[in-house]
Amino acid sequence: MRCPKCGCESSRVVDSRPSESNDAIRRRRECVRCGMRFTTYERREEMPLMVVKKDGHKEAFDRSKIMRGLVAATVKRDVSVETLEELIDEIVSTLRDDGLTEVDSQDLGKMVLQRLVDVDKVAYVRFASVYRDFKDVDEFSEELRSLVP
């Protein structure tokens, strides 16, 4: 594993444990050259998960796309990156447990929203406004009313 600071290809594992969702091994490593500590995740290789877009074309599932959307939705909110990683891990685990190799982009967005509403309601509304492509203030207001008991 290459050190992110000095580029050295030698590191030693300081600590190793399963991730929260038990689908990866989290390893703390230390560079043998500069001593920097960094974290890596080891996941099993599986059949690629494909996302079917609105226009029917397919593309490989990309965790970073969901993470970018979640980070944008949670900017200036008290939500950790680890929480967002766990949210994505939970979605991927659900899809894998269901034996799916393809998922509709709309279904994927719904899965994100179902979990995000429990994490942060403001982030939920931000994400929903992009995901659902609100056309006017009335649609936005309707979504807000659905959150109030």
Q: Which tokens hold the place of 131?
A: 């995901």
Tokens 């429990």 — which residue?
118
Of 116 and 132, which is predicted with more confidence?
116
**Residues 67/59, Cβ–Cβ less than 8 Å:** no
Q: How confident is the model at residue 94 (pLDDT cuts 50, 70, 90)?
A: very high
Q: What are phi and psi of 97, to 5 degrees?
A: -60, -30
pLDDT tens readout for residues 28-62? 999 999 999 999 988 876 678 999 998 999 999 99
N-terminal to C-terminal alpha carbon distance within the chain = 49
**Residues 92/22, Cβ–Cβ less than 8 Å:** no
pLDDT at 63 over 90: yes
Q: What is the dihedral of CA 65, 106, 51, 24, to 10 degrees?
A: 60
Q: According to DSSP H, which parts of the chain are helical?
A: 63-73, 81-97, 105-119, 121-131, 137-147
- Which sign, positive or negative, has the C-alpha torsion 59, 60, 66, 68? negative
Secondary structure element (H or E) that encloses residue 42, with its range: strand 37-43
For β-strands 37-43 and 50-52, DSSP reports them as: unpaired
Q: How confident is the model at residue 145 (pLDDT cuts 50, 70, 90)?
A: confident
- Give this prediction's pTM: 0.63
